[in-house]
Amino acid sequence: MSVTGLEMDSSLMPHRTGVMRSVRRTSRIGFTILGLVLVYLTYTWFAFDVPALINSAKPERAALLATDAVAHKVHVTRLLRRGTTAIAIEGERTATYETPPDWVAVEGERLTIDLEDGYTVTMLATSLTFDVPDYGLIRVSVQDGRVITELPPGKKPDWLRATDAKFDARPDLGRRVQVSRAKIEVHRYFLGWENFFFPFRSPLQAYSAGELLDLALSDEEIEPGTSNLRLILDTFWSNPDWQHGNVFIALLETLLMAVLGTFTAAFVALPLAFLAARNFTPSGPVRFVVRRFFDFVRGIDMLIWSLIFIRSFGLGPLTGALAIAFTDTGTLGKLFSEALENIDRRQVEGVNATGASRLQTYRFGVIPQILPIFISQGFYYLESNTRSATVIGALGAGGIGLMLVETIKTSRDWENTLYIIILTVLLVIAMDALSTRLRRRLTGDR
């Protein structure tokens, strides 16, 4: 900071040098720490082998995943041995078109598939032509168990792979043509989630939202014996592609783990915290034992607790709830006992002076003081445990975490994964909002 141009009082000079020296010293410390952090990050750059990772990364997977998560594809598949052709959403047998959609023209064995933007595929019995704008016509045929590809003249583009065994062309993320010895498969992508509400075969598929509302209120039953509303809900709930029912139950399991775990931890930790607080438990050994117990259950960590509980209680929300409860008994116990040591003695003494019993002293002198901390920490941990419960679930305790791991492992229906991710994040945000609101309400904070 420059002070040139100002008339400086000479008596301030020594003071100023002192200040500048201390400022320089703290700056030096700051820069040293920054330097150390940089050195450390350089070390980890190599310890994590980032260069190798950059080489082996598959960014195309991210692009694939991103498109697949927000789009769905329709497969046109011809099985060469049987000579059959099927058009199905995601190639699933339950979602096969009875009559071809308007972008596929069928004339006997000849299929003309419009892939939009000028891309066209013409499929014959055992061959196809693929018309690519700005490139030319690709001919692929299967002869004597070999895949033969004829490309237009010029350099082979890198979105295309052709060998004797397989032809694979993916000019962009919206369309793909594959030929192998056994089958010809053409994919066309559409934006949006397919059959999100009702399965492909369901009669409800054809209705719009308004019509569904009318249907729900009308007395004419589509399926005699069940009310329309019930039919609509049941069909939605048991949708085989999206499994709304199972996803909801998994979310509930995760929530159950978090709620049970946190509440149990809070209610076990509270009485134990009195035993660990200096002003309530004069006996040193008791305090020591209880405090080490808190350190012990907290130190073992949720990961190890859940592994132990999975062994004894099997997979499920009970395991997750107990793992959370054990770890957080330690954390909350420590927090509560610190809060108890910091309470105002005067209120306790005041209640005591009225001739209150020991229990009454706690009830009216102590509890009102630590209740805000109890509630706010409890709710804070409830929110954070909702997140932990998803991770514990992935270890095997079940719930939404396990479901997420499974859908990612099969890596087939990324839209399902995205759906689960969105629901999980929404659940966490909802728990966050709820716990903040309840915390403010109950503790009168702000």
Partner 1 sequence: MIASAHLRDEILQMKRRRQLYSAAILVLLVAIMVGGYGQANEMNSGGFIGGLSKFFDYPGEIVAEAWDAGVAFPALLWRFLPALIETLNIAAVATILGGLGAMVFAFLGASNLNVWPPMVPVARRITDVMRAFPELIVALFLIFVLGTSPIPAMIAVAFHTTGALGKQFSEVNENIDTRAVEGLGACGASWFQRMRFAVLPQVLPNYLSYFMLRFEINVRASAILGFVGAGGIGSELRRTIGWGQGAGDETAALFVLLIMSIFLIDQLSSWMRQRIAQAEALT
What is the pattern of x (binds partner 1, CB under 8 A) and - over residues 296-315?
A: --xxxxxxx--xx--xxxxx
Q: Which residues are CB-neighbours of 347 under 8 A, at least 6 positions away?
A: 365, 368, 369
CB of 56 or CB of 208, closer to partner 1: 56
CB of 41 or CB of 217, closer to partner 1: 41
Q: Which residues pair with 185 in a beta bridge?
A: 77, 178
Please tell me the distance from the alpha carbon of residue 93 to that of residue 87, in angstroms, as a whole number.
9
- Enclosing H/E stretch for 104: strand 104-107
Q: What's the min distance (Å) between Cβ of 398 and partner 1?
A: 7
Q: How many residues contact partner 1, by CB under 8 A?
A: 64
Where does this chain touch partner 1 (CB under 8 A) — which range of 37-45, 106-114, 141-149, 360-368? 37-45
Please tell me the distance from the alpha carbon of residue 378 to that of residue 243, in angstroms, as a whole number.
33
257 is a contact residue toward partner 1 (CB under 8 A)? yes
37 is a contact residue toward partner 1 (CB under 8 A)? yes
217 is a contact residue toward partner 1 (CB under 8 A)? no
Where does this chain touch partner 1 (CB under 8 A) — which range of 91-99, 133-141, 169-177, 250-258? 250-258
- The tokens describing 358, both together, are 């020991």
Among 12, 137, 233, 429, binds partner 1 (CB under 8 A): 429
For 394, how many CA atoms within 13 A lie in the half-sphere containing its CB? 13
Stated length of the chain:
446
Pick out residues in 313-342 that bind partner 1 (CB under 8 A).
313-319, 321
Q: What are the backbone angles phi and psi of residue 126, rounded to the nearest 5°?
A: -130, 25
Pick out residues in 408-427 that bind partner 1 (CB under 8 A).
408, 411, 421, 424-425
What is the pattern of x (binds partner 1, CB under 8 A) and - over residues 41-60?
A: x--x--xxxx--x--xxxx-
Q: Report CA-CA distances (Å) from 388 to 221, 261, 301, 322, 331.
A: 45, 11, 12, 13, 14
Are the CB atoms for 226 and 354 separated by under 8 Å?
A: no
First to last CA, the chain: 39
Which residue, among 102, 73, 96, 95, has the nearest Cα to 84 in the 3D structure? 96
CB of 78 or CB of 298, closer to partner 1: 298
Among 85, 96, 264, 352, binds partner 1 (CB under 8 A): 264
Q: Which residues bind partner 1 (CB under 8 A)?
A: 1, 23, 26, 37, 40-41, 44, 47-50, 53, 56-59, 61-62, 65, 253, 256-257, 259-260, 263-264, 295, 298-304, 307-308, 311-319, 321, 387, 390-392, 394-395, 398, 401, 404-405, 408, 411, 421, 424-425, 428-429, 432
